Amino acid sequence: MPPMRAPPDDRTSRAKIRDEALRLFAARGADGVTVRQIAAGAHVSPALVVRHFGSKDGLRDEVDRHVLRVFDEALGEMTAPNGAELFDPAATGSLAEAVMRHLPPSSPIPGYLRRLLLDGGKPGRRLFRKLFEAGQAALDALAKAGLAAPGEDPKVRAAFLTANDLAMLLLREPLAEVLGVDPLSKEGMARWAGEALAIYGAGIGAKPPAATASKPRSRSTRTRR
């Protein structure tokens, strides 16, 4: 049987350039990447990059807009009529899960998000405010449904939950090193959800629910044949 061929790449040249810029910006930062490197990765000429976007700054603006559109879709889930279910302990959902549902496993967007949020620019601040407002809306919905308490300072509580949920996206690589699993993988999010929901529900002394806890066994405790 002949080997299966990869499906054709039907993206426009503009989309290919944008996606390659996103990949390189996420890996090296925008200042560490040249137009020539982006063009080479997208298999186009530097002149075509300039023709589509005007300059590297114009291309970076397009990448920012693209990433914000992805997050708008994810936030749409959270602010939909049933969006509160994403934060319901029974659903073990989170912002990170909502985002990852819109991305392929190898997407550079989580890495780009880290740079976007930490560089202090307007797109990052705008994105964080939208994430915070979505967290506020979800917390309000849960409080009205009797599933959560707004706390003495609802604004601080919403900010705390937002910052904690962003930790998996912003600290993906170091978390993977210490946990031995990608926190944004299915296994990683299941492990994280079990502990996070237990702490949210009953405090730091709580034990994770048996249904959501996913703790790897050590070799010494495995059944031997």
Digit-coded pLDDT (tens) for 115-130: 888 887 888 888 889 8
CA distance 63 to 32: 15
Q: Does position 209 have pLDDT exceeding 70, yes or no?
A: no
Closest by Cα among 14, 21, 22 to 40: 21
Torsion sign, CA atoms 196, 198, 200, 206: negative
Over range 71-87, report the average pLDDT: 58
Q: How far is CA 107 from the centre of its chain?
A: 10
Query: What homologous superfamily is domain 11-54 in, according to CATH?
Result: Homeodomain-like (1.10.10.60)
Average pLDDT of span 15-30: 94
Q: Are 74 and 45 in contact (CB under 8 A)?
A: no
User: What pLDDT is attached to residue 22?
Assistant: 96
The fraction of the chain above a pLDDT of 70, given in percent, is: 75
Structure tokens at 190: 């299941």
50 compared with 84, residue with greater pLDDT: 50
Tell me: pLDDT of 30 over 80: yes
Q: What percent of the chain has pLDDT over 90?
A: 27
Whole-model pTM: value is 0.67
Helix axes 56-79, 46-53, angle to 10 degrees: 60
